[in-house]
């Protein structure tokens, strides 16, 4: 870039996935008491998906957070 | 004036919860924020049109793939897998991987070393201004039309799947793309494409995971398909049914797949379509530019997991429960079509949260394709049409260029102040052409809304150009005897012959048997054989006219042609850093996958 150094794309990806992960995790926990009307709802895919997204997003955010 | 219809008034396949809507809204905010963030970092033409030539191999590679991974692609090929079975995976494997590896190992050195900003730019360097003019005008025209057609098709999908109003889908998505590409240029498009790549994968993965769980694994799914369908076994093999047009659901034969799809169509698209090639030439060095399409190839090999496998899961699971999808032409009111297979599976398996992610994946896919079209259009319009053809008329003299000549008479030099002013002018033109490209796309979308047959025509028109262009560029890079006259007339002859074959079948459908060399050929075979013949005609005409015309001197071909270009070798690098090693590994994996699903 011409003037300033950009934050890496991986940081943006990490932040967005972290937000999505936390949202899915909250939704997934709520679905333990109010399961959705989907096939295989007993597998709690939203909860596990939330954990995976939080881990990936958190990992990327930590690894690419700008340091001095 | 647009009719004032409600945004969410129509019946839909998917009902989103508040959590799902929040996930979609956050996505829109994120892409706009990235565009805004990158605005201050885009201050030159090189930044805007070529992302400062600063991308790493991974970013360029993922963006290269994401620009092609549109939502229509996801839903369309899932529908094709439901209709034709695993044969649809040919478009992801033999129909993509060899071409991507070839781009990285053979063609990329010439694109990169020539320092061209675009594929039409390479045509100018190698064959002169007339060939560039044909290439650039065809590409720019087709790109905005395709963008509009895709926009309308996607809005129609959003209406069925989410119940969104057509006008709402078209305007919200296109304005978002115009803002973030207009602000941050190609860097913004690429950043968002990489983000969209992750969202597409993470949003779509729920279907194969839970689908295979329900079906009892791959073995259970195969058993269901064989039990559900007459000749169900032919839906599960990639090559063993291709000995005859009659033995497989697609009505195609192996020669069409290998030579038509695997060679001409895929090499034409992946190595000469500027929409995808633009992502790779933004790489920071030659090794990254060579590795980028090879990295893309590994991910492309895995895409059937989220596209073809869901189609097969639909074929097994839906039919097992007595639900059969039909083609769009046979559908009666209330019946689901092949195109609905992916959204139906999403609703079947994804609860609130994951459903929002899945819908975001579809929207992200749609926007990545559109941003790709718009950013490629802005570059070709500004550098290959406006600068050489329009700007000189306004200035009454050629525009100054700082780098390698892109005019046959040699470089037009200018002083630093003049060059900086020109660059600023082109940067502004790039931003304006992004907005204008989006507006023309929107106009095309409304045209398609009024005349649905225009979609078939535009898609066919696009295919006319790609196969002959591959012939022209391949000869241009590998045969130094190819001359400007040969390149121009070959490209023109190939394109006209492609249009001629298409029109012939349109007027006289029985001509398909002649073009595809079989009375059993189905329309799918037409594209492949049409591409094959038009490529052959382009190559033959280019060779004959080149041999009849005066060759170019070697020094004029330096950096453009094999034999006149010193290509930096990577022998000093460890084996695991060499593009050749990874390219060969991709080809070996391709062979293994094809043997497994033979």
Give the ipTM of the model, two decimals please: 0.92
What does the pLDDT average to over B308-337?
82
A53, two tokens? 């997204």
Given a cut of 90, is residue B218 above it in pLDDT? Answer: yes
Distance from CA of A33 to the nearest CA of B (A): 13
Given a cut of 80, is residue B413 above it in pLDDT? Answer: no
Distance from CA of A65 to the nearest CA of B (A): 16
Looking at every residue in chain B, the average pLDDT score rounds to 85
How far apart CA B241 and CA B92 sit, in angstroms, is 18
Q: What's the pLDDT at B551?
A: 92
Min mean pLDDT across B243-252, B382-391, B418-427 is at B243-252
Q: Does A64 touch chain B (CB under 8 A)?
A: no
Phi, psi of B564 (to 5 degrees): -115, 10
What does the pLDDT average to over A3-17?
80
Given a cut of 90, is residue B253 above it in pLDDT? Answer: no
Q: Does B216 touch chain A (CB under 8 A)?
A: no
Min mean pLDDT across B55-59, B201-205, B304-308 is at B201-205
Looking at every residue in chain A, the average pLDDT score rounds to 88
Q: What's the pLDDT at A4?
A: 53
Alpha-helical (H) ranges within B40-114 are 45-50, 57-66, 71-84, 97-102, 108-113
Listed residue (A7, A26, A24) closest to A65, CA to CA: A7
For B481-496, how does the pLDDT look when each residue is reduced to its tens digit (9 = 90+)? 999 999 999 999 998 9
Given a cut of 70, is residue B510 above it in pLDDT? Answer: yes
B positions 160-199 inside 8 Å of A (CB): 187, 190-191, 194-195, 198-199
> Greater confidence, B403 or A15?
A15
- Nearest residue in B to A53, CA atom: B202
Given a cut of 70, is residue B78 above it in pLDDT? Answer: yes
Cα–Cα distances in angstroms (integers) from residue A15 to residues A20, A58, B110, B308, in the given order:
9, 7, 38, 30
Contacts A27 to B, Cβ<8 Å? 19, 351-353
The 3-state DSSP class for residue B351 equals: coil
Given a cut of 90, is residue B57 above it in pLDDT? Answer: yes
Listed residue (B503, B457, B484, B424) closest to B124, CA to CA: B484
B45, two tokens? 């033409």
Q: Does B321 touch chain A (CB under 8 A)?
A: no
Banded pLDDT at B342 (limits 50, 70, 90): confident
Helix (H) or strand (E) holding B212: helix B206-215
How far apart CA B49 and CA B42 sit, in angstroms, is 10
The 3-state DSSP class for residue B350 equals: coil
Q: What's the pLDDT at B583?
A: 96
Please indicate whether, in this complex, the C-beta atoms of A24 and B353 are within 8 angstroms of each other.
Answer: yes
Given a cut of 70, is residue B1 above it in pLDDT? Answer: no
Please indicate whether, in this complex, the C-beta atoms of A38 and B34 are within 8 angstroms of each other.
Answer: no
Which residues have C-beta within 8 Å of that of residue A34, sequence separation ≥ 6?
none
Q: Does B204 touch chain A (CB under 8 A)?
A: no
How far apart CA B268 and CA B496 sit, in angstroms, is 16
Which residues have C-beta within 8 Å of that of residue A38, sequence separation ≥ 6?
B347, B348, B349, B350, B351
Residue whose tokens read 């079948």: B505
How far apart CA B314 and CA B330 sit, in angstroms, is 18
The partner residue sitting opposite A12, judged by closest CB among B40, B191, B354, is B191
Please indicate whether, in this complex, the C-beta atoms of A45 and B350 are within 8 angstroms of each other.
Answer: yes
Longest dimension (CA), chain B: 75
Q: What's the pLDDT at B458?
A: 62
CB atoms closer than 10 angstroms to residue B588:
10
The 3-state DSSP class for residue B393 equals: helix
What does the pLDDT average to over B238-256?
80
- Nearest residue in A to B354, CA atom: A46
Min mean pLDDT across A35-44, B152-161, B404-413 is at B404-413
CB atoms closer than 10 angstroms to residue B145:
24
How far apart CA B460 and CA B531 sit, in angstroms, is 11
From the candidates B45, B353, B363, which should be mutated to test the interface with A, based on the most A CB atoms within 10 A?
B353
What does the pLDDT average to over B547-569?
89
Q: What's the pLDDT at B147?
A: 83
Given a cut of 60, is residue B88 above it in pLDDT? Answer: yes
């Amino acid at each position: 870039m011409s003037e300033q150094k950009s934050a890496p794309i991986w940081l943006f990806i990490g932040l967005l996935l972290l937000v999505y992960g936390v949202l899915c995790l909250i939704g997934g926990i709520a679905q333990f008491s109010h399961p959705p009307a989907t096939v295989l709802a007993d597998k709690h895919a939203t909860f596990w998906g939330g954990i995976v997204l939080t881990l990936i997003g958190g990992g990327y955010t930590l690894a690419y957070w700008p340091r001095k | 004036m647009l009719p004032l219809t409600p945004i969410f008034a129509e019946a839909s396949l998917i009902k989103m919860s508040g959590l799902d809507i929040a996930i979609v809204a956050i996505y829109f905010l994120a892409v706009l924020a990235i565009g805004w963030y990158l605005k201050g970092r885009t201050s030159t033409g090189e930044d805007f049109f070529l992302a400062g030539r600063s991308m790493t191999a991974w970013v360029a590679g993922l963006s290269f793939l994401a620009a092609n991974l549109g939502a229509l692609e996801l839903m369309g090929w899932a529908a094709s897998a439901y209709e034709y079975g695993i044969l649809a995976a040919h478009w992801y494997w033999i129909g993509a991987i060899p071409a991507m590896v070839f781009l990285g190992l053979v063609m990329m050195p010439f694109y990169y070393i020539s320092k061209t900003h675009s594929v039409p730019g390479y045509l100018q360097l190698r064959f002169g201004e007339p060939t560039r003019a044909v290439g650039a005008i065809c590409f720019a025209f087709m790109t905005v039309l395709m963008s509009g057609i895709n926009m309308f098709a996607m809005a129609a999908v959003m209406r069925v799947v989410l119940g969104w109003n057509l006008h709402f889908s078209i305007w919200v998505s296109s304005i978002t793309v115009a803002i973030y590409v207009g602000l941050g240029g190609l860097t913004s498009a690429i950043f968002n494409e990489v983000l969209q790549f992750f969202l597409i994968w993470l949003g779509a993965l729920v279907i194969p995971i839970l689908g295979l769980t329900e079906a009892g694994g791959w073995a259970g799914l195969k058993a269901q398909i064989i039990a559900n369908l007459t000749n169900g076994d032919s839906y599960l093999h990639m090559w063993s049914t291709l000995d005859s047009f009659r033995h497989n659901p697609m009505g195609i034969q192996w020669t069409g797949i290998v030579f038509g799809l695997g060679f001409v169509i895929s090499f034409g698209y992946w190595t000469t379509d500027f929409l995808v090639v633009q992502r790779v030439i933004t790489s920071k060095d030659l090794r990254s530019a060579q590795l980028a399409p090879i990295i893309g190839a590994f991910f492309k090999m895995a895409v059937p997991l989220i596209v073809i496998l869901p189609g097969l899961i639909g074929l097994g699971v839906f039919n097992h429960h007595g639900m059969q999808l039909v083609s769009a032409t046979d559908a009666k009111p209330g019946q689901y079509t092949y195109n609905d297979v992916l959204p139906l599976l999403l609703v079947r398996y994804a609860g609130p949260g994951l459903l929002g992610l899945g819908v975001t994946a579809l929207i992200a896919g749609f926007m990545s394709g559109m941003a790709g079209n718009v950013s490629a259009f802005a570059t070709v319009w500004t550098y290959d049409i406006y600068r050489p053809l329009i700007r000189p008329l306004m200035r009454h003299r050629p525009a100054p260029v700082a780098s390698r000549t892109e005019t046959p008479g040699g470089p037009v030099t200018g002083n630093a102040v003049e060059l900086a002013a020109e660059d600023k002018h082109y940067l502004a033109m790039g931003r304006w052409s992004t907005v204008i490209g989006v507006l023309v796309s929107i106009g095309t979308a409304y045209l398609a809304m009024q005349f649905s047959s225009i979609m078939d025509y535009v898609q066919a028109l696009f295919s006319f150009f790609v196969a002959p262009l591959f012939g022209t560029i391949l000869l241009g890079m590998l045969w130094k005897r190819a001359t400007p006259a040969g390149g121009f007339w070959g490209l023109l002859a190939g394109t006209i012959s492609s249009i001629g074959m298409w029109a012939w079948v349109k007027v006289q459908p029985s001509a398909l048997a002649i073009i595809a060399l079989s009375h059993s050929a189905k329309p799918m075979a037409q594209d492949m054989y049409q591409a094959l013949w038009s490529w052959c005609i382009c190559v033959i005409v280019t060779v004959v006219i080149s041999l009849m015309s005066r060759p170019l001197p070697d020094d004029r071909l330096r950096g453009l042609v094999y034999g006149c270009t010193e290509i930096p070798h990577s022998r000093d690098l460890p084996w695991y850093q060499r593009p050749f090693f990874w390219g060969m590994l991709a080809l070996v994996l391709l062979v293994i996958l094809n043997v497994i699903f033979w």
